[in-house]
Amino acid sequence: MLRFWKDSETPGRRLGILSAAFNPVTVAHLEMARQARREYRLDEVLFLLPLRLPHKEYTGASLPQRLEMLRAALAAEPQFSIGSTDRGLFLDIARECRPAYGSQAEFFFLCGRDAAERIAAWDYGEEIPFGEQLQQFQMLVAPREGPYLPPREWAGRIHALSVSPGIAAVSSSMVRGAIAAGKAWAHLVPAGAAAIIRRDGLYGGGSTEPRP
């Protein structure tokens, strides 16, 4: 079931969906969403936290902590909304979003190159093939160690997202690793999320950063 935790002030028919574990939310997540709005004229970007993840275990920060970090990070972003769902696959998420956004809405999933390759090659079992799933949504793919080059037959539904390689390389695992190693990390996450990480001593690194 799709549940909203923060509504957008600018809902519309062109919806970006950034589905991730947000463990924690990073500056790359925000820049991808901002650039997608500018480049593809999206009305809203939904930061969606699946309660079940098809590609990874649900460990680390708790669900309430992840939602609190998202709210803090997006507090000044009126075009961004926050939701959660018990679905993890893009097709299932699109199906859950359809009743909420209407039959005429266009869905654009945001992700990095590595995620796009994994999603395209995923074994969907008895579900419809990935190429047919693209009839239900489009994808905006940021470069991560290189651009994603989709097969020609998918090119009209999978598009490049112009995010700088330095930003696209930032990941939640990078943040967690930096914190655990006692390295500088606050520049990798939005300030509101950083405050919660420090407050709760998340990711095994204590509550402070090393001094320069």
pLDDT at 211: 45
pLDDT at 56: 62
What pLDDT sits at residue 147?
85
Over residues 152-178, the pLDDT tens digits come to: 999 899 999 999 888 988 999 999 999
In CATH terms, the superfamily for domain 3-202 is: HUPs (3.40.50.620)
Q: Where are the domains of the chain?
A: 3-202
Distance CA 100, CA 198 (A): 36
Average pLDDT over residues 183-200: 97
Confidence of residue 128 (pLDDT cuts 50, 70, 90): very high
Question: What size, in residues, is the chain?
Answer: 212
Model pLDDT for residues 77-117, shown as the tens digit of each residue? 999 999 999 888 899 999 999 999 999 999 999 999 999 99
Nearby residues of 85 by Cβ (< 8 Å), 6 or more positions away: 1, 2, 3, 48, 49, 50, 51, 92, 93, 96
Confidence check: pLDDT of 53 > 90: no
The torsion angle over the Cα atoms of residues 114, 88, 85 and 113, rounded to 10 degrees, is: 10
pTM: 0.92
